[in-house]
Amino acid sequence: MLTKNAVLSAVACAAVSNASPILLHQNENAFSNGEKAHVMTAPNLGKFVPTYPKQYTVTGIMHIPYADVHEPVKVQTDEEARAQKVTYYDGRDAMLYLNIGEDTGMTYETYIGYNRPMCFQSKLKKGTDTQDRMDREVKFIPDLKEFEYRGKTPCNPAKTDELCHHWSQEKSQGFHNQYVYYAKDDELYTPYYLSMVGRNVVFASHYDMYNVEYLTFEPTVDSSAFEVPECSVFLGGRDDHHHAVREEIDSLMNAHDHVSDKFDEHVVKFNKTYADDKELLEGHLNFRVSHHTVNNMNKQGDDATYGHNHASDLSTRERNGRMFGYRKSYKVGKPSDHVHVNRTVSKMIVDTNIKVPDAVDWRLDGAVTPVKDQGTCGSCWAFSTTGAMEGAYFLKTGRLNTLSEQQLMDCSWAYTNNGCDGGEPAMAMDYLTEVGGIMDDSSYKYENADNYCRYNPEKKAASIKGRVLIPSGDEFALKQAVALHGPVSVAFDASKPSLLYYSSGVYRDPNCSTTDLDHAVLVVGYGTTELGDDYWIVKNSWSTYWGDMGYFKIARNDNNHCGIATDATYVVV
């Protein structure tokens, strides 16, 4: 998904929308280096890859239909100068990359935080290995080497008879992946539309549907775009959020060569391409880690099944960089010493004499909104918060409102939350307790990026009186809370690769932690399989394309597996 918070890669996906973008006409022969554009002959069907300039400016809109996000983006690239600027929402957020691949490489990020413009700088890592893709240029025009050229077709039949060149790629490996790219029939092969159903290959996001509507394309770039911004505040430590410790792979290097054969099959099946031999090696090593993980998980003998998919050659950093966002600001299981003292925080008193059902699924009672999509923003904490509020409000009023995650991202910075760079449900609940309420999503839509706070109390859709901490690690207490009070906000260790490959059954990973939590989700129920395996029903925020229609089951009464009960909270409305 197109946002400053995304990891990087390139390729494309499915049908042209009815939108009719207006593309600005440019001088086809005007390159900033003085060279003339190469006039290409009419291509033949099959393999045909146009050559795009090394300097260009492109604008467009990333559409994520499932999340109803429409994100304006501008990309200014000078490959020879090793510089790029990616601007979001008409300049509100921007990432400037200078001296890419050099020892002196730097990143400057400007964004909205604490309701004012802020920025920070960090050093780029040298090299082009897969692990460092977040510090590399965004390939906003897809790599068409593995696409099939389909000839000319109407760019948008509903709006115009103008013809476009058409490339496509389609794969069915576990998920059905479709990629379609359209370019105008001019000397520059001006980008027109990119459609993706599958993994977002521009920003390496999770499985979803994405469309890129190109608005303008110029084979030039304004050098002033690469001027270092004047920053009033430089934050330290934010780069830690993007860092994931690489799993040990040395022990896998001597594996039998059949793993290399599997990797070769993986490359063919998923039409993988790598920038150079070093990136190819990184992909191969990542695949070995995935192969080891998949084999171990399938040997556990539990109910879940796992297998290789399109992400098996990705690094831990690429997988985890923007799919999470949970950050702990105080000691687990105890109220925070945060400066805001007017909130109502209490600890749940567990009554073992209260009998609760053997199975609960609040989805069946209408207390759970449809699965949402956090995109590539580290905003899981906001989705977990709204989920808990939506359920509690339904239990009290009988009405189910879809509440605004964006309000929490924009307005709770003073409560130690950091928008797309992570946060904590408990602190978001404290913010809501003190501010008086939350708007619904239709009035304050999700944008997949940080913005100024625009909360309007006159439009609030729900409010809370406070929050209740569930005794840390107590699964009986969590069960009682879910049964009596509705969906509960929890966090767990989602860092293990096995979760990425989950599709059904009861999830387990023997290596996950009960204390190192990185992802906030929503427990909406619990139950037991026919074989007697207890589980929690968990709503994720990675769209319905992931997992079991956006949900997963995780082991219950199994020593607080992955920390599912370590930091659990419900709201009081």
**Taking phi first (over 0 means left), then psi (-120 to 50 degrees means alpha), and beta for anything else, what does residue 271 get?**
left
The dihedral built from the CA positions of residue 329, 335, 339 and 341, taken in this order, carries a sign that is positive
CB 87 within 8 A of CB 138: no
Residues forming the active site: 380, 519, 540
CA 568 to chain centroid, in Å, comes to: 23
Angstrom distance (rounded) from CA 152 to CA 143: 19
Rounded to the nearest 10 degrees, the angle between the axes of helix 380-397 and helix 425-435 is 50
Token pair belonging to 513 = 């932690």
CB 22 within 8 A of CB 215: yes
CB 525 within 8 A of CB 360: yes
> Quick one: 51 exposed, middle or buried, by C-beta within 10 A (0-12, 13-18, 19+)?
exposed
**Taking phi first (over 0 means left), then psi (-120 to 50 degrees means alpha), and beta for anything else, what does residue 288 get?**
alpha
Angstrom distance (rounded) from CA 502 to CA 304: 7
At 14, phi and psi to the nearest 5? -90, -135
CA 253 to chain centroid, in Å, comes to: 30
